[in-house]
Homo-oligomer: A and B are copies of this chain.
Amino acid sequence: MEKLPLIGLGIATVGSSGQTLDVHFPFIVFKNGNGEHDHAYGGWDALMDQDTISLQDPSMIELKEDSFNSIITNLSDNKKLVLCRIVEDRKIRTIEEAYLKLHLLSYKFFKPNSLNLDNLFNVLPNVAWTNRGPVELEDINALIINAKAKNKNLEIKSVDKFPRLTDYIIPPSVRIADTSRVRLGAYLSEGTTVMHEGFVNFNSGTMGAAMIEGRISAGVIVGKDSDLGGGCSTMGTLSGGNEIKISIGENCLLGANSGLGIPLGDNCIIEAGLYVTGGSKVKKFNAKNESEGTVKAADLSGKDNLLFIRNSLTGAIEARINLKSVTLNKSLHDNQ
């Protein structure tokens, strides 16, 4: 993994107890020198004996970009500057590392499932995400009472370990109709449109232009020019018992309200309303529409050109050869 080591320069929010609640990393610097901000890397080697540093004295960094200066000076009282270094891709030990890895995914420096995210849930605190920034849960009741009495605006948008992607990063050439549906750590490629019913978890996403009106679970990858219909489900591995990582190839269509429990190859279609799980027994047909007997859906994992339907007269799930080509509506993906 030649992208390591790297350093994130970030702004952390400090809660009333002194705990770090989140970190925004606007700048990532790679030692390999290929990155946009790498020329600023110079004087930082001295800091590399520690992994996470809270900077009291910004002059410790050799600043080569004016944009760095503008964020370093005049930080709000509950903010602090943080340097976080990742040399090896070990399990996560600190909240700073957790946020840095989530940023690395959403900046698309690393693909989903390519970073070690062990310990992520343990390291991230559960906080209230408000219009005043993240707030420790111990403080929230007093804030609510005070806001009610004084008619002050306090909006608690989420109580969760993960924040929204767009509070930190806006991926280029992407539409996200409802930003509350995409977590930090999502990997969204150019030309991707996430509609209101779409959802993208951390460590998952799209490898090219895609229409996402269904739910991309953690760990799930969607190939370019694929279309996830409204309300469709991709089985995740965090809860519910599934253990196989789901992926979707290129030019696939998951129909509305359908579901997927196996990895799909390219050019596959799941009929609207059909849920294909790994254990489903499926009647297989060849390109001449001749029966080839019954197989487990899991045995069709990763195969191209399959059309999955439930026969509306017999009720059987069938896998046929897909002769149609899925094409995205270009006007929906020219997200300028």
Q: Which residues of A contact B (CB under 8 A)?
A: 11, 13, 24, 26, 67, 70-71, 74-79, 121-122, 125-126, 128, 131-133, 137, 140-141, 144-146, 148-151, 153, 155-162, 166-170, 172, 174-181, 196-197, 199, 211, 213, 215, 217, 227, 229-233, 235, 238-241, 253, 255-259, 261, 271-275, 277, 280-283, 294, 310-317, 324, 326, 328-329, 331-332, 334-336
Q: In the complex the two chains form, is A159's CB within 8 Å of B179's CB?
A: yes
Q: Is the CB of B273 within 8 A of A274?
A: yes
Other-chain residue from B144, B150, B161, B275 in contact with A273 (beta carbon distance below 8 A): B275
Determine whether the beta carbon of A177 is less than 8 Å from that of B158: yes
Chain B residues near A172: list those with CB within 8 A. Answer: 137
Total identical chains? 3
The docked-state distance in angstroms from the alpha carbon of A158 to that of B273 is 28
Evaluate contact between B316 and A294: CB separation under 8 angstroms: no
CA distance A220 to B262 in the complex (A): 32
Q: Which B residues touch A155, using CB under 8 A?
A: 131, 157, 167
Q: Which residues of B contact A294 (CB under 8 A)?
A: 313
> Residues of B contacting A231 with CB < 8 Å?
215, 231, 233, 257
User: What B residues does A149 contact at CB under 8 A?
Assistant: 11, 70-71, 74-76, 79
Whether B175 lies near A160 (C-beta < 8 A) is yes
